[in-house]
Structure 1
């Protein structure tokens, strides 16, 4: 074989430039960059060095041959011509990886099969012995890349991907790959900071990937020093003496590095479940003297007590994938920025984020930004110098502390600096409106003994939110912005609002939940979108009700129907009450509270009937209150009982798998009301309501029944600004 080889090094997208710089430093020549890869020429010593020392690469591929191909036969012939006896024993094992398509190759599996056949046929001996396939730990891993009719045939010297260092056997939910973490550290200037004796802190360290990679850089430890099996271990072209020389040199450098006084490298993690896995990873890496991990929130992490010590704060905050994450992420970034300003003056900071807009909420300018990819997710690395001239100043304002209910039990929100976060001009205007609404509505709510009500409903068009108070929680629904609105502006306004809400309402930021409300189809608004299972007890008209603010788009309590529920409570004494499309049966609880002789609640969802059962039980109304699971239309058709009061609040549209056909309130309301009125006892009353804004009650119904629209009577002060929230009618048989 030749003394020099063409090498391909693959890497995550976006790291090509950094990898090229690293590879040149390790001896690779004639370096060229490609998408997610670089190539160059080198001798075998450099190839081994790249395997051992590359912190950024995924694989080191040694090119055996390039050839043009027009079809699958050309592929077979080109591979078969290689002297495979120089690379693999006839009884050895191999694995083939194939990428690309064209030239008669329609899928990678077929291409890999052709390559395998060509190698096996070449090595089959007179005794019939031939290599076998081992996809996990083969003696030889062959890679063929097809690029515009050219086949590039290579041996994979690395074996398993180089990012798999071997220390991270335990990991969190969304860990960074080790080579991406190393790239971020390099971009953040950690090699320079470490050489100067600087410190490193990660306030959201997860299982410690940044910490271990940083310590290996500082201690001059080859990232793959501990790897026992390589792609070249059983390769017949392997030169063991040369490898041992390089490996021994790397061992000596690691021993010398670890013998130096360790740098101060600390991680903090809020989730107690990740502390021990993180410490285990550090121990497996042999860096327990260098790296320490503690449990702690972002707002509590401390840099080194020595005030003269400087260093780097680095972190990868969570990206937010669940319903309601926007609020918690905003406050997380705000807390991070506050902590940097307070405790890390003159340090440097590097924040790797999939939500750059949130990075702007830290209150510190970034002096550089780098684009990265975390898998398929575009991300930004924000580099920050924690110096006063980089702080983003703004008006600071103490909120009006008046609360509507239980003032003595409501603790003020205190940031780490005992002052509210800075608000933009728009955010301050929004906060002023919230405080005005709270002052007006709070007196009414306290007088009526209401602990949950709407305090804001898109009063300012640019802040298209509905904000509800549930005792000491805030439930925020963001209305989907029209397509004509710039998404970046909409996002900025949302974060302005989220920053203002805790201050204006006097609610701890951890008790703000946000959801996005879009046009719903079918039963989507009732579908579970999270799984925290946390219920909160609220009060209304002398009854206790359970709400869930996190798991569904709706909370289990439609606040706009409060006046209707109170009317039902006032009129229910001695009556048989029927609640159709009952949801969580809050109207049935009110009827029972008002002295109803019995209540029957019908809904298709077992989940909501279980919730209804809990609401009834919470108030001691388990007896004489029946829950029925079924399609309302079918149930009415088979029902033969009479009721003195019926309440119907149907969905706009429903297509559950458990019901026959599709329910459409506009199309089907006449049949629904006819079936329901047929179940009314003499003198009985039916209350019908729905929130479909384009709904038109069929005019012919008034010819058969006494119909009275009562919408205006069913709007409390917190909904008078939105008179189209629902429409309601009182219907009686003539």
Structure 2
């Protein structure tokens, strides 16, 4: 099938989410634009976007781009196009027009020139004049003028896709369906629902959020209830292809409703909007699945049947009038008190046009997303509902303790400014990428040799050992200064941060416990759930610098046999399994990490019969000729720099031993397979003989995300294949 270019529009601020969604439909991103994404793919993927996109407004099949510096130039460009291929004989059409320039100063004039060009083009070909139908046309032509160029396309959707067909009535402050879906995605609802969590909106209005949450969790296509799309009378339409997609959507909806259905509940104090919500639920086909009831927030109570975890997501009043805004602090405070009392252990999402009242909730927000509700700027604030996350007063004495004294205010101010700058740049990048665990600071300033990592709002601080030229007292002063500044900038109490001193580890010391808190929690990375522990070990269970390597494995693992050597907690194997690897074998000599890797795989629903984790000395396993007959299509090997553990048959020195280890891996690699070899030895040099024996390509640059590009030597990475 031939490839097409599409422009898919969406609410402002949702572009990055939309690009990821379209990629899952088979549409490759070309570039982002304000309130939209340019993508490329087959017609089937464009149809799928119309039926399945939860975020898009319109899907426009790009026809051509013509010069349009003047009205005459625009007309000539439109006339020259092959409109017979897009408008049916004796059919009708309409034109939507956006943009202006010095000659074309309003959209009505621009639309008329496009209509004239289309009509004259078709009549010039000797065909009957098509009719212009402002309402219910056979096809809709989209024209967008920008910088003297007119982009012309066919609107495959025919209507804004946010209209799912279930909402004909509205509450007082309706939330568009695709914006509601974006809020659910940003709040992590897919992962929460996959884990069996419940959904509650305590101020649900006409029910948009709770309905969209149910459609998403039950795998019901948002366009399933749409009677007609904009491409169905288009001459290029492929009915059989479309019928197949429709049947697939019906099958998936049926299967979704057969699974164990989590709780979807909505409440509101206004009985009239609850009546509207019930009608919307019925039209959405969710009778008996989504429950709504009249109940003010002050009377909210947890149902004993609800799961231990879940998402509370709501869009409370913004208070557009001054008198209303005075009451918002009390409303938000009441909401925070209720969820803390009734739903501890859940996540709270608050979408508001008055984010300054977010602090009244009484919890520390771990994530903030800037979005728009129509033209109104708004924020989605996310909170983990837990007593330990209660916001404390900024006054140190009121917080129950005295902040560390800052010995050198000028030096501390430099760190404060750097952290704020990093939060703005790296933090903004991470939010756009949907990355929740990242490195904020990595010894950016020689005065503060620290690594500061954020794990979905939690703070992990590692102090690199101070050089001998710095006396102990000065080192302690800088450490205290750093803790005070970090707590201030990140709005985190120092005693709630996890702080460690990092030194060179070797042998058994790299596996030694630092503490025995047993405090594990789950984080998310590219759709995978991973268990981490910030306190008990030197490392947390997740090497953040290898995030792009794991994502690459996930994207290329489908149908492949995967081997993970020195697997640690199995994060790369989880990505391979989620990416569709047919089977995997993961090896590590630590019993603790083997068990941890098995837990990670189980968290993601992997079949542990197909995805096996074993305790083994990787050097012995590679040297064992009995294992050489096991063949893999994708191998990941990221060994330690040095190890002399008693559990190992010998001593591992990565510089000395890597050539032999790579060759042993290649014996187990299929003829068209790939070995990903990585290590973090700063002085490492690759064995030159390997490049003569195999196809070797260093890919280090592509494996360093923005948060690690300041530290180019954090690791090095190669792709190694058999020579053809």
Other-structure match for 1:172:
171
SS, match of residue 27 in structure 1: coil
SS, match of residue 31 in structure 2: strand
After superposition, what is the alpha-carbon deviation per residue over 1:596-647, rounded to whole angstroms, capped at 9, x for unaligned?
xxxxxxxxxxxxxxxxxxxxxxxxxxxxxxxxxxxxxxxxxxxxxxxxxxxx
Other-structure match for 2:340:
341
8 Å contact from structure 2 (residues 139, 234) kept in 1: yes
Other-structure match for 1:163:
162
Other-structure match for 1:230:
229
Other-structure match for 1:293:
292
Q: Does 1:185 align with 2:154?
A: no
Displacement after TM superposition at 1:293 (Å): 0.4
Other-structure match for 2:655:
none
SS, match of residue 324 in structure 1: helix
8 Å contact from structure 1 (residues 165, 224) kept in 2: yes
After superposition, what is the alpha-carbon deviation per residue over 1:268-294, rounded to whole angstroms, capped at 9, x for unaligned?
010111111100000100011220000
Other-structure match for 2:123:
124
Structure-1 separation of matches of 2:275 and 2:306:
29
After superposition, what is the alpha-carbon deviation per residue over 1:418-460, rounded to whole angstroms, capped at 9, x for unaligned?
xxxx999xxxxxxxxxxxxxxxxxxxxxxxxxxxxxxxxxxxx
Other-structure match for 2:270:
271
Structure-2 separation of matches of 1:72 and 1:135:
22
Structure-1 separation of matches of 2:293 and 2:312:
15
Other-structure match for 2:199:
200
Pairing of 1:88-107 with structure 2 (within 5 A):
88-102=87-101, 104-107=103-106
Displacement after TM superposition at 1:68 (Å): 2.1
8 Å contact from structure 1 (residues 69, 103) kept in 2: no
8 Å contact from structure 1 (residues 207, 278) kept in 2: yes
Structure-2 separation of matches of 1:333 and 1:101:
43
Other-structure match for 2:634:
none
Structure-1 separation of matches of 2:76 and 2:102:
14
Other-structure match for 1:150:
149
Structure-1 separation of matches of 2:182 and 2:306:
29
Other-structure match for 2:250:
251
Other-structure match for 2:381:
382
Runs of 5+ in structure 1 lacking a partner? Answer: 396-421, 425-734
8 Å contact from structure 2 (residues 12, 372) kept in 1: yes
8 Å contact from structure 2 (residues 196, 307) kept in 1: no
In the superposition, relative to structure 1, how do residues 122 and 360 fare at CA in structure 2: closer, same or farther (>3 Å)? same
- Greater CA drift, 100-109 or 138-147: 100-109
Structure-1 separation of matches of 2:72 and 2:241:
38
8 Å contact from structure 1 (residues 90, 125) kept in 2: no
Other-structure match for 2:38:
39
8 Å contact from structure 2 (residues 29, 37) kept in 1: no
In the superposition, relative to structure 1, how do residues 16 and 308 fare at CA in structure 2: closer, same or farther (>3 Å)? closer
Other-structure match for 1:674:
none
After superposition, what is the alpha-carbon deviation per residue over 1:213-272, rounded to whole angstroms, capped at 9, x for unaligned?
000000000111111111101111111010011111111001100122321010001011
Structure-1 separation of matches of 2:126 and 2:68:
32
- Greater CA drift, 213-222 or 253-262: 253-262
Displacement after TM superposition at 1:307 (Å): 6.9
8 Å contact from structure 2 (residues 263, 306) kept in 1: no
Structure-2 separation of matches of 1:126 and 1:95:
20
8 Å contact from structure 1 (residues 264, 304) kept in 2: no
RMSD: 2.1
Runs of 5+ in structure 2 lacking a partner? Answer: 401-724
8 Å contact from structure 1 (residues 201, 303) kept in 2: no
8 Å contact from structure 1 (residues 262, 289) kept in 2: no
Structure-2 separation of matches of 1:85 and 1:383:
51
SS, match of residue 206 in structure 2: coil
SS, match of residue 368 in structure 1: strand
8 Å contact from structure 1 (residues 369, 383) kept in 2: yes
After superposition, what is the alpha-carbon deviation per residue over 1:82-106, rounded to whole angstroms, capped at 9, x for unaligned?
2211222342111101111126212
Other-structure match for 2:506:
none
In the superposition, relative to structure 1, how do residues 363 and 224 fare at CA in structure 2: closer, same or farther (>3 Å)? same
If you compute each CA radius of gyration, which structure gives the higher value, 1 or 2? 1
After superposition, what is the alpha-carbon deviation per residue over 1:309-330, rounded to whole angstroms, capped at 9, x for unaligned?
2101110000112341123222
SS, match of residue 212 in structure 1: helix
Displacement after TM superposition at 1:297 (Å): 0.5
In the superposition, relative to structure 1, how do residues 123 and 332 fare at CA in structure 2: closer, same or farther (>3 Å)? same
Structure-1 separation of matches of 2:301 and 2:358:
21
Displacement after TM superposition at 1:123 (Å): 2.2
Pairing of 1:240-639 with structure 2 (within 5 A):
240-306=239-305, 309-393=308-392
Structure-2 separation of matches of 1:70 and 1:310:
57
Structure-1 separation of matches of 2:204 and 2:399:
29
Structure-2 separation of matches of 1:277 and 1:423:
45
8 Å contact from structure 1 (residues 165, 226) kept in 2: yes
After superposition, what is the alpha-carbon deviation per residue over 1:541-565, rounded to whole angstroms, capped at 9, x for unaligned?
xxxxxxxxxxxxxxxxxxxxxxxxx
Other-structure match for 2:456:
none
In the superposition, relative to structure 1, how do residues 128 and 232 fare at CA in structure 2: closer, same or farther (>3 Å)? closer
Other-structure match for 1:55:
54
Q: Does 1:210 align with 2:205?
A: no
Structure-2 separation of matches of 1:258 and 1:31:
36
8 Å contact from structure 2 (residues 68, 145) kept in 1: no
In the superposition, relative to structure 1, how do residues 126 and 24 fare at CA in structure 2: closer, same or farther (>3 Å)? closer
In the superposition, relative to structure 1, how do residues 124 and 305 fare at CA in structure 2: closer, same or farther (>3 Å)? same
Runs of 4+ in 1 over 6 A off after TM superposition: 125-128
Other-structure match for 1:26:
25
Structure-2 separation of matches of 1:128 and 1:199:
58
After superposition, what is the alpha-carbon deviation per residue over 1:585-605, rounded to whole angstroms, capped at 9, x for unaligned?
xxxxxxxxxxxxxxxxxxxxx
8 Å contact from structure 1 (residues 91, 129) kept in 2: yes
Structure-2 separation of matches of 1:80 and 1:307:
62
Structure-2 separation of matches of 1:423 and 1:137:
63
SS, match of residue 365 in structure 2: coil
In the superposition, relative to structure 1, how do residues 30 and 332 fare at CA in structure 2: closer, same or farther (>3 Å)? closer
Other-structure match for 2:76:
77
Structure-1 separation of matches of 2:272 and 2:42:
47
In the superposition, relative to structure 1, how do residues 96 and 308 fare at CA in structure 2: closer, same or farther (>3 Å)? closer
SS, match of residue 234 in structure 1: coil
TM score, norm. by length of structure 2:
0.53
Structure-1 separation of matches of 2:113 and 2:302:
58
8 Å contact from structure 1 (residues 315, 352) kept in 2: yes
Other-structure match for 2:107:
108
Structure-1 separation of matches of 2:177 and 2:238:
28
Structure-2 separation of matches of 1:244 and 1:162:
19
In the superposition, relative to structure 1, how do residues 372 and 23 fare at CA in structure 2: closer, same or farther (>3 Å)? same
Structure-2 separation of matches of 1:251 and 1:110:
43
Displacement after TM superposition at 1:149 (Å): 1.1
8 Å contact from structure 1 (residues 199, 304) kept in 2: no
In the superposition, relative to structure 1, how do residues 30 and 127 fare at CA in structure 2: closer, same or farther (>3 Å)? closer
8 Å contact from structure 1 (residues 20, 31) kept in 2: no
Structure-2 separation of matches of 1:182 and 1:244:
26
